[in-house]
Amino acid sequence: MDETLAGPEKIVLDCDPGHDDAIALLLAHGSPRIELLAVTTVAGNQTLPKVMRNALSVARIAGMTGVPFAAGADRPLVRPIRLAPSIHGESGLDGPQLPEPSIRLDPRHAVDLIIDIVLEHEPGSVTLVPTGALTNIALAARMEPRIVDRVKRVVLMGGAVQGGNWSPVAEFNIVIDPEAAAIVFEAGWDVTMVGLDVTHQALATQEVVERIRRIDTAPARFVGELLDFFGSTYRDAQGFEHPPVHDPCAVAHVIDPGVVRATRMPIVVETAGVHTLGMTVADRRRPAPVGCRTSAALELDHARLWDLIVDALERIGDPG
């Protein structure tokens, strides 16, 4: 089908805001190519109560109404919880002043909400976009295995074909719950890994930050303040000159696969390695075999990514 004639992509954003998760949420809300069906949260960057509150604060800043928000898993499937205050601060969203949430949480557990949404919609119409640990998604696949065939695809921020950030070979979202990640990568649905290979190129350069500040709306000023804090922790903790804005890359791939380009390859998750726990092992020795349903994003169009984010912020405007 001609993609330009198709309607917006229906997504569920499963996140742990988190500075880059917050920007991913704004991108999903502001993009005319996305229909945001629900926002669910999972412990990761900070504890579940903190990331849930952060998601609701972002919703208020963006003037979001009518989208259900639900809290999910408060810890990984089997391992003790590991948080990321060195990157996201004690609140999980340090930097800007956060408004009190104004919308009420959906009473359902995130896993139930994800299952309900997938079963309520046409088979093949809902894309899951996890930008945190894969705990909720793995639980949903286990609790209601029918969703595996009904989901259109899973486009996740996590992993890397090469390298890591939380260990030499593992990325944070995968290594904090590797068993959940293994379930998601091996479930049999279409999985696109938008990992560090591209997200480490998604830098919020000075030029990008100035462009966002020039929009001069409350949500854009909020993003500017997020990027100030994110820039300072990424400089101190990981030596980056400009912060890599990971999570919006997954949303951008759903909006336009030409902006974040992926290649089919078999990918599995290491759950038993002493030094390699949480590594996403991608087999690039030969072309992907017929029937391979995993892909990795390898190329990013930096200018177009930030065009999408700026455009979304302009469309959101000043909700007041």
Beta strand extents in 93-143 (DSSP E only): 126-130
Nearest distance from C-beta of residue 46 to ligand BDR, angstroms: 10
Angstrom CA distances, 88 to 10, 111, 113, 188, 275, stand at 28, 25, 27, 33, 25
Nearer to ligand BDR, 84 or 297 (CB): 84
47: which 2 tokens? 């504890």
User: What track of x and - describes contact with Ca ion for positions 8 through 47 (by CB under 5 A)?
Assistant: --------x-x--x--------------------------
Q: Segment contacting ligand BDR (CB under 6 A): 14-22, 90-98, 114-122, 290-298?
A: 14-22
Residue 191 phi, psi dihedral angles, 5° rounding: -120, 125
* Alpha carbons 80 and 133: distance in angstroms, whole number: 13
Contact 161, 198 (CB under 8 A): no
Burial level of 248, CB count in 10 A (0-12/13-18/19+)?
Answer: buried
Q: How many residues bind ligand BDR (CB under 6 A)?
A: 15
Collapsing DSSP to helix, strand or coil, 295 comes out as: strand
Nearer to ligand BDR, 18 or 76 (CB): 18
281: which 2 tokens? 């092992």
- Please give the DSSP secondary-structure letter assigned to residue 282: E
Collapsing DSSP to helix, strand or coil, 117 comes out as: helix
Binding to ligand BDR in span 154-173, by CB under 6 A: 157, 165, 171-173
| Residue 165 partner contact from Ca ion, ligand BDR, none using kind-dependent CB cut-offs of 5 to 8 Å | ligand BDR
Binding to ligand BDR in span 237-256, by CB under 6 A: 246-247
* Alpha carbons 131 and 174: distance in angstroms, whole number: 10
Nearest distance from C-beta of residue 42 to Ca ion, angstroms: 9
| Residue 192 partner contact from ligand BDR, Ca ion, none using kind-dependent CB cut-offs of 5 to 8 Å | none
177 binds Ca ion (CB under 5 A): no
Nearer to Ca ion, 114 or 265 (CB): 114
246 a catalytic residue: yes
User: What track of x and - describes contact with ligand BDR for positions 97 through 126 (by CB under 6 A)?
Assistant: ------------------------------
Contact 42, 14 (CB under 8 A): yes
Give the residues across from 41 on adjacent strands. Answer: 15, 71
84 binds ligand BDR (CB under 6 A): yes
Catalytic entry in 88, 246, 253, 275: 246
Residues assigned a catalytic role: 246
Give the footprint of ligand BDR on this chain (CB under 6 A).
Answer: 18, 20-21, 45, 84, 87, 131-132, 157, 165, 171-173, 246-247
